C-alpha cells in the first residue's frame, strides 16, 4: 500500500510540473530540480569525497520525496561530472573544476580555467588543535556531544555529521560521523552568507566600500532607477525590496521560486538578480532571499579584479588563508562570481575558525581584519526580521518570539550564528569566547534547531 501511495504522489508531482504554477514555466521548475541534484551530488563526491549513494539517500532523496521515483542520476568519475534527469522533462550536468568546486553546465561546457600558481598567505590565527580528533575528557562535555549525535527512530532524521567546540582558542571537543573527519569539507548552505559578510567587512576595513552608500551595481545606475536607493546594508540585512522570491523555506514547490531557479538554472546569477524590480521601498520590508547575497558576491568580484581567478585569490589571501582555513572551497557560477549565498564547503574546524573571527571584534592574532564595531553591527537585529536576523547572521540580540525561545532554551543572549538549511550552524558566543560548529543532513523541523539549542545549553553548562 505504501508503495502505491508513493507512486500516486510522484505522478501527482509530475502533473504539477506539466501544468505549471502561475506564470512559471514547467521546464524551468524541472530544470531547477535536476540542477540542484547534479550540483549537490557533484560537490559531495568530488569536493568532499563522500559516498555518492549514502549522500543521495540522506541529503537529496528526502528533498525530492515523493517525486524521487522520477529522478535518475549518473556519477561519471572518469570525467568528474554528475548528470541528473527527471521523467524526460529536464536534464542537468555539473562538472568538477578544482580548485573552484563544481559548476553547472548550461549551453556549453565552461571554458578551462588557467589558475595562477597557488600562493598560501601566512595564517594569523594560531593552531587550534592537533590533527587527530580531539575527544572530550570532561564527562559533561562528552555527554553534550553524544546527545547531539542521537538519532531519531524514524524519518525525519537529523544525521549529525560533525560537532566542534572551540573555547579560548582551542578545540576542547569534537566528534564526526562515520566517513567524515577533521579534513572533510562540509556544505554550509546559507551559513555561506556569513562568509560573504566577512568579505564585505574586509572591503569596508580596506576603505573600498561603505555599507550606508548605494550598492555599486552598474545596472541600477540609470536615471530615475528606484533601485539606486538600495544600499549594501539593505542587501546584508535582506531588506532590499527586490521582488525575487524567498529562500527562507524549502519544499517541493521551491523549484518554482525565482531565487531557487537563479541558483540552479542561471549561468550568471547576479545578472539575473539585478534585473529584479522592486516590490517594496528599500529598508521597509524584510525578505530573506539568496538574490541579495549574490549581488553582494558580484560587488566582491568586481572589487577583487572581475574574474574567477582574481576573486578566488582575494578570498584566500584576505580571509581563508589568514584564518588558517585549509579545506575550503567557495564555488562559483559560470560568470566567475562566488555563490556567496549558499555554496561554500569547509571542514567543521574551518567553519569554527570563521566563527573565531567574530569573538574579539574582528581582531585575530593581534591584527584587525574587520572594522571596529563590525561584530555588533552584524549581530544587531533587523527590524521586521522573522526569527531574529542581523546583517548576514541570525542573532539572539532582539525580542522576537524565536529569539526568546532560543535564549530561554539556554543560548546566551549575546550569541549569534551562521545558519544553513538542513542543520548547518556556527554559533558564536563572545561573552564565553566560545564557538560551536554543528553540521549534518537534518530533515527534522527547522533544521534541527532544538537539538542545537540543547547542544549550546549543554556545552555552556559543562564549561561553567
Relative to beta strand 170-176, strand 394-395 is: unpaired
Residues 409 and 299 in one domain: yes
Q: What is the arrangement of strands in the sheet containing 102-105, beginning at the earlier edge strand?
A: 71-76, 81-86, 90-96, 102-105
Q: What percent of the chain has pLDDT over 70?
A: 93
The model's pTM: 0.94
The pLDDT, as a whole number, for residue 249 is: 76
Residue 124 vs residues 200, 356, 434: alpha-carbon distances, Å: 19, 12, 19
Which of 86, 105, 124 terminates a domain? The answer is 105
On the question of pLDDT at 11 being above 60, the answer is no
Q: Tell me which DSSP letter residue 60 carries.
A: I
| Domain span holding position 50 | 2-105
- Look at residue 67 in the predicted model and tell me its pLDDT: 86
For residue 8, being part of any structural domain is answered with yes
Are 209 and 358 found together in one domain?
yes
Provide the pLDDT for residue 460. Answer: 97
In a domain, 130, yes or no: no
Which are the contacts of 131, defined by CB distance < 8 A and separation ≥ 6? 182
Residues 307 and 431 in one domain: yes
Q: Residue 110: inside a domain, yes or no?
A: no
- The answer to whether residues 184 and 53 belong to one domain is no
In sequence order, what are the residues at sequence separation of 6 or more whose Cβ sits closer than 8 angstroms to the Cβ of residue 158?
151, 152, 423, 440, 442, 443, 444, 448, 451
pLDDT of residue 402: 92
Would you place residue 26 in the very low, low, confident or very high pLDDT band (cuts 50, 70, 90)? confident
Query: Is residue 153 situated within a structural domain?
Result: no
Please say which residue of 105, 120, 140 terminates a domain.
Answer: 105
Tens-place pLDDT, residues 199-256: 999 999 999 999 999 999 999 999 999 999 999 999 999 999 999 999 987 766 778 8
Q: What is the pLDDT of residues 141-155, one digit of tens each?
A: 999 999 999 998 899
Q: What percent of the chain has pLDDT over 90?
A: 83
Tell me: pLDDT of 127 over 80. Answer: yes
The CATH number assigned to the domain holding 456 equals 3.40.710.10
- Among 264, 298, 322, 306, smallest CA distance to 124 is for 322
* pLDDT averaged over every residue in the chain: 92
Number of domains in the chain: 2
> Does residue 352 lie in a domain region?
yes
Which of 87, 105, 123 is the endpoint of a domain? Answer: 105
Same domain for 293 and 408?
yes
pLDDT tens readout for residues 262-277:
999 999 999 999 999 9
Map residue 454 onto helix, strand or coil: helix
| 80 and 190 housed in the same domain | no
Name the nearest CA neighbour of 442 among 421, 459, 457, 463: 421
pLDDT of residue 130 exceeding 50, the answer is yes
Residue 132 counted as domain residue: no
User: What's the pLDDT tens digit per position in 358-387?
Assistant: 999 999 999 999 999 999 999 999 999 989
Does residue 299 belong to any structural domain of this protein? yes
Residues 89 and 171 in one domain: no
Segment 348-352 shows an average pLDDT of: 98
Amino acid at each position: 500500500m505504501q508503495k502505491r501511495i508513493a507512486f500516486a504522489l510522484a505522478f501527482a508531482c509530475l502533473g504539477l510540473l506539466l501544468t505549471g504554477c502561475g506564470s512559471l514555466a514547467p521546464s524551468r521548475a524541472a530544470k531547477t530540480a535536476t540542477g540542484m541534484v547534479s550540483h549537490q551530488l557533484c560537490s559531495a563526491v568530488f569536493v568532499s569525497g563522500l559516498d555518492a549513494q549514502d549522500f543521495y539517500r540522506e541529503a537529496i532523496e528526502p528533498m525530492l520525496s515523493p517525486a524521487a521515483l522520477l529522478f535518475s542520476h549518473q556519477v561519471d568519475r572518469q570525467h568528474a561530472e554528475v548528470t541528473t534527469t527527471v521523467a524526460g522533462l529536464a536534464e542537468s550536468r555539473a562538472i568538477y573544476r578544482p580548485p573552484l568546486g563544481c559548476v553547472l553546465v548550461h549551453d556549453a561546457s565552461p571554458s578551462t580555467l588557467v589558475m595562477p600558481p597557488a600562493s598560501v598567505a601566512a595564517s594569523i590565527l594560531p593552531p587550534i588543535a592537533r590533527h587527530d580528533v580531539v575527544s572530550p575528557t570532561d564527562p559533561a562535555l562528552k555527554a553534550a556531544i553524544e546527545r547531539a549525535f542521537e538519532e531519531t527512530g524514524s524519518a525525519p532524521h537529523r544525521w549529525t555529521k560533525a560537532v566542534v567546540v572551540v573555547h579560548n582558542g582551542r578545540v576542547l571537543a569534537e566528534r564526526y560521523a562515520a566517513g567524515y573527519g577533521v579534513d572533510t569539507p562540509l556544505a554550509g548552505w546559507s551559513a555561506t552568507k556569513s562568509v560573504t559578510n566577512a568579505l564585505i567587512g574586509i572591503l569596508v576595513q580596506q576603505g573600498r566600500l561603505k555599507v550606508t552608500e548605494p550598492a555599486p551595481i552598474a545596472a541600477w545606475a540609470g536615471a530615475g532607477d528606484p533601485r539606486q536607493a538600495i544600499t549594501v546594508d539593505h542587501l546584508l540585512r535582506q531588506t532590499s525590496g527586490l521582488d525575487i522570491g524567498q529562500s527562507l523555506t524549502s519544499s517541493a514547490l521551491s523549484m518554482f521560486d525565482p531565487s531557487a531557479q537563479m541558483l540552479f538554472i542561471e549561468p550568471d546569477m547576479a545578472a539575473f538578480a539585478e534585473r529584479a524590480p522592486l516590490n517594496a521601498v528599500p529598508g521597509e520590508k524584510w525578505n530573506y532571499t539568496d538574490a541579495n547575497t549574490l549581488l553582494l558576491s558580484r560587488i566582491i568580484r568586481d572589487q577583487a579584479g572581475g574574474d574567477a581567478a582574481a576573486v578566488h585569490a582575494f578570498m584566500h589571501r584576505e580571509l581563508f588563508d589568514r584564518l588558517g582555513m585549509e579545506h575550503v572551497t567557495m564555488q562559483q557560477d559560470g560568470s566567475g562570481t562566488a555563490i556567496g549565498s549558499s555554496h561554500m564547503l569547509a571542514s567543521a574546524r574551518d567553519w569554527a575558525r570563521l566563527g573565531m573571527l567574530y569573538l574579539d571584534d574582528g581582531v585575530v592574532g593581534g591584527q584587525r581584519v574587520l572594522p571596529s564595531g563590525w561584530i555588533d553591527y552584524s549581530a544587531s537585529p533587523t527590524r521586521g526580521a522573522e526569527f531574529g536576523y542581523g546583517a548576514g547572521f541570525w542573532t539572539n540580540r532582539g525580542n522576537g518570539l524565536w529569539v526568546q525561545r532560543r535564549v530561554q532554551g539556554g543560548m546566551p543572549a549575546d550569541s549569534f550564528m551562521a545558519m544553513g538549511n538542513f542543520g548547518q550552524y556556527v554559533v558564536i558566543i563572545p561573552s564565553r569566547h566560545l564557538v560551536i560548529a554543528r553540521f549534518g543532513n537534518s530533515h527534522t523541523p527547522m533544521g534541527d534547531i532544538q537539538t542545537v539549542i540543547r547542544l549550546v545549553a549543554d556545552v555552556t553548562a559543562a564549561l561553567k
